[in-house]
Chains A and B, each alone.
Chain A
Amino acid sequence: MRDTRDTRTKRTGKRKKVRSYPIMVLSGIYVLLFVTMLGYIFNYSMSHKQEFINNDYNTRQKILLKQNQRGKILSRDGDILAYSEKGSDGKEVRVYPYGKEFAHAVGYSTKGKAGIEAFCNYYLINTNLDLSKKVAYDTKGMKYPADNVTSTLDANLQEVAYNALSSRKGAIIVSNPKTGEILAMVSKPDFDPNNLELEWDNMVKDTSGEAKLLNRATQGLYPPGSTFKIVTLLSYLREHPTDYANYKFSCNGKFTHEGNTISCYHGENHGSLDLERSFAKSCNSSFANIGVGLKPETFDGVLHDLKFNQELPIDFCRYNKSSSSYPKDHAISQVMQLSIGQGNTSITPEHLNLITCAIANDGMLMKPYIVSEVKSEDGKEIKKFSPEEYGKLLSTSESQVIRRMMGKVVNEGTASRLKGLSYTAAGKTGSAEFNDAKDSHAWFTGFAPADDPEVCVTIIVEEAGSGGSYAVPIAKRVFDAYFGVE
């Protein structure tokens, strides 16, 4: 006979419930385990959806491509920058109406992927068309049009920047410091994405050494030259927050410290200077003098705050990290080189643009972005990218002082070609030497209007000469176009 445990208690005569706590505990453990696992699965699969679909080993991309026609990429005003159509042989071809102009910003999708084509691949191959519209396409025997991507790029500014750089090598970035939107991004030498198939092998072999596929705006690492004096200036402001105005220096064309000498550009003699004029005239001697007086930790702290040697908040394209650091052994010659942006320091134009944007926006860096929204072919909003604060790179008061000094660069210094226009501008020039023959890249980074900046421009022209003569005129053409000046 089966044993039935008699659990009746003598006293009350009532049957006591057989409680088995282990069964409850084990059941509880498993419920917890399952709920955690299901939460994990849901979260993991949803948050990695886009990344997984772009993986080359994921065969689902082919299913989508067979079903949907790749979506369009539009400028901020709705101009078509890229679209797909059926070619004469029945195959789908990607067309870029602006040819070379948007080559690096918009990118390509046939030989691997780059630019917006890569960043928004997920949206460009998926469709959110209404069911009834899908049925209509089905009956016509056509593929469903995938979702369309609207970029922040301004076709007019892009064209002006593209033409202004003419046949020079280099890069131009135009952005809105208040929102982080990228309005134009040019890199040269470039390629025609419509002829990618033909040009590809040559570009990859790169026999000419032009590195056409490289997006110089975000991947090109250049010595910053005098534009780096912004960093040295900020370090000095951090050590002398109240008495920086008392700085005095007498320039005779060169500066010697402990047997090391730094010369001014073309040996120019700047005479007696305060901090503001040192910056406006871009006096190497004065800044080398400032540099040797700075504490290493101040300098390294500023480099850290300005995101040197770190990842940048950029997710829309490939980029390189900038590098700069105070010499470990405190070698004076290297400290002097560092102070004027020569030596081991290198920066990408995009990074310099971000620093300029932060200065223009009271120290607050807005996360840069190049795509504003994704819409289905029938106009439903699928995804919206909004301005997003990334964080303060410098304090409001520091940015105000630097802005004022950048204004002086235009009014009294090296960027005088921007003076006396219908709008006010501010900025900093640079002439970065890249070889021993004293050849230099021309730099300019700045913003306008000077008192309430709404557009930031960063320009590098490779092997051109001084920033004041070669980069500033390009900046003027871009600002003119932005403010609608003929």
Chain B
Amino acid sequence: MELYITEISKYVIASMMLLYTFTAFLAFKLRSREARAHIYAAQIALMFLIEFSCFVQIIARTGKVVYLFFFAFQIVVFSSVIMLFYFIYPDGNRLIINNCCLLLMIGVIILTRLSYERAVKQFVIIAISFLLGFFIPEMIFRFNFLKRFTWAYAGIGVACLGIVLILGATINGSKLTYSIAGLTFQPSEIVKVLFLFFLAGALYKAENLIDLLILSVIAAAHVIILVLSKDLGSALIYFMLYLALIYISTENIGYFILGMFFAALASMASYKLFAHIRVRVQAWRDPFSDITGAGYQLSQSLFGISSGGLLGLGLYGGNPKSIPFVVQDFIFSAIAEEMGIIFAILMILVCLSTFLFIMQEGYYIHDKFYRMIICGIGISYAFQTFLTIGGGAKFIPLTGVTLPLISYGGSSVLVTIVMFMIVEGICMIGSDERYEEYLEERRYERNRYRNERYKRYEDEEDR
């Protein structure tokens, strides 16, 4: 009986995920609110079906009824998030919220399998983040003055990162996370939001090359502090964020190419300078030559990804715990192993569609400040996803960043939810803009109509 349940649910989960991914991309074609209403409904049904099938599998394998309560709690929280959003922010982008909920669900499912205790912790953080996050769209919508604190954002950001660097140096080695009341806390994650606001504010005001140079120097300060803290992944994300926003702001691809050229130079220099980077590159090129040492993590991750096959070994069917730091850095490998490579790839496609929704919103917004913010969120989300998955699958060297929304990690989940809420706020600004435009258009048309009528009247007078 258990065997039937696990085997059949594998097919169910993969096909539901396929349908979900299909609806996510279908939304690009169907733009009208009416057509999308069906998509929203289908997505919500599918995501709860996936969640349900996974928990059936978990309970069949473990026989623990306590998971049933956990499952019920999740249903309550996620459905209230989706419902509340629908009623409070009808102008928000519901596709992004749906994707966000699905990815969070997948994260909690795989964490339940890996460590129930951590899954519960993660779930509590998710619930709190949403509770706080609900106010953010309204704040973004109303607090237009946020674009004025450019230099404060930079000051606080550099100070925070600097303190971490100095503390890290004194407490022996690179310690990037701090625990407060049992919750891990990673300053570079939270400073990322400040950095984004700083860049958006500075680019909004920038008028000439001097302004660009000044903001570049401050951005470089952030990146250099991160490199010195050995937080390579975050340094890369900050840098890509800076580069993308300069490009979007100036519309000059020359800056982008120049930046990539500098990045290439810098990586070659750091390869020569830092031993820990050489070790990582070596472990990436051939993880199996030093399988007991530097290559251990990556080779275990690759074993995990490849052993699942198309449909996976089923939850609890594999051995993902053999991968060190699986819940933070290699959650993708665990998903590929137990839920199958098809599911894992579809999940990444959902991440990609989320990124494209965000960029699409950015494309249609007129206010440059908000356009910078929303595109920055999209880029940092996509790039971080790329770094984690590419690193764990031997596509690029490992940098040790988390998979947003899915990996275990308090500050990561909190910050990502906050950023998605900012996106929602900006979506509202976008619809507000469009409404204003609509009114203006009506006014314009009315005037023209009146003028024409007046003109005709005058003509008749003349005759």
Contact = CB atoms under 8 A, between A and B. Distances in A.
A217 to B, nearest CB: 29
A167 interface: no
A302 interface: no
A191 to B, nearest CB: 30
B253 A25 contact: yes
A264 B18 CA distance: 76
The main secondary structure of chain B at its interface with chain A is helix
Contacts of B167: none
A27 B247 CA distance: 13
B184 interface: no
B349 A24 contact: no
A135 B307 contact: no
Interface in A42-92: 42, 44-46, 48-49, 52-53, 55, 57-60, 62-63
Contact of A37 (B306, B362, B389, B441): B389
B4 A131 contact: yes
Contact of A45 (B248, B313, B336): B336
A48 B248 CA distance: 41
Number of chain A interface residues as a range: 35 or more
Contacts, number: 140
A33 B351 CA distance: 13
A38 interface: yes
Contacts of B319: 59-60, 62-63
A49 B7 contact: no
A23 B362 CA distance: 8
B94 interface: no
Given A41-B395, A44-B394, A22 B253 contact: yes
A448 to B, nearest CB: 46
Interface stretch (A2-10, A180-188, A332-340, A424-432): A2-10
B253 A5 contact: no
A41 B343 CA distance: 13
A59 B356 contact: no
Chain A contact residues: helix, strand, loop or mixed: helix
A402 B309 CA distance: 50
Most B CB within 10 A of own CB, among A18, A24, A37, A49 = A37
Contacts of B441: 15
Contact of B251 (A13, A21, A33): A21
Nearest to A3: B367
Given A42-B345, A60-B307, A131-B7, A13 B444 contact: yes
Interface string A106-147: 000000000000000000000000010011001000000000
Interface in A298-351: none
B303 A58 contact: yes
Contact of B386 (A24, A34, A46): A34
B356 A45 contact: no
B386 A45 contact: no
Interface string B423-454: 00000010001001100010010001000000
Contact of B349 (A1, A38, A62): A38
Contacts of B291: 55, 57
Given A30-B386, A38-B348, A53-B307, A63 B318 contact: yes
A52 B395 contact: no
Interface residues of B, number: 61
A25 B356 CA distance: 12
A18 B144 CA distance: 22
Contacts of A45: 302, 305-306, 308, 336, 341, 393
A26 interface: yes
B363 interface: yes
Contacts of A196: none
A62 B3 CA distance: 19
Nearest to A50: B306
A55 B317 CA distance: 19
Interface in A356-396: none
Contacts of A44: 302, 306, 393-394
B307 A2 contact: no
B303 A27 contact: no
Most A C-beta atoms less than 10 A away, residue of B303, B313, B352, B379:
B303
A27 B317 CA distance: 37
B3 A41 contact: no
Contacts of A131: 3-4, 7
A200 interface: no
A24 B375 CA distance: 11
Interface string B310-321: 000100011100
A20 interface: yes
B142 to A, nearest CB: 11
Contacts of B436: 4
A37 B305 contact: no
29 contacts: A4-B366, A4-B433, A4-B437, A8-B444, A13-B448, A15-B437, A20-B248, A22-B256, A23-B359, A23-B362, A25-B253, A26-B247, A26-B248, A27-B359, A30-B355, A38-B349, A41-B341, A41-B345, A42-B345, A44-B393, A45-B306, A45-B341, A52-B303, A57-B296, A57-B300, A58-B303, A60-B319, A131-B4, A131-B7
Given A34-B386, A42-B341, 9 more contacts: A2-B429, A22-B244, A26-B359, A37-B389, A37-B390, A41-B395, A44-B306, A45-B302, A52-B302
Interface of B: 3-4, 7, 144, 244, 247-248, 251, 253, 256, 288, 291-292, 296, 299-300, 302-303, 305-309, 313, 317-319, 322, 336, 341, 344-345, 348-349, 352, 355-356, 359, 362-364, 366-367, 371, 375, 379, 382-383, 386, 389-390, 393-395, 429, 433, 436-437, 441, 444, 448
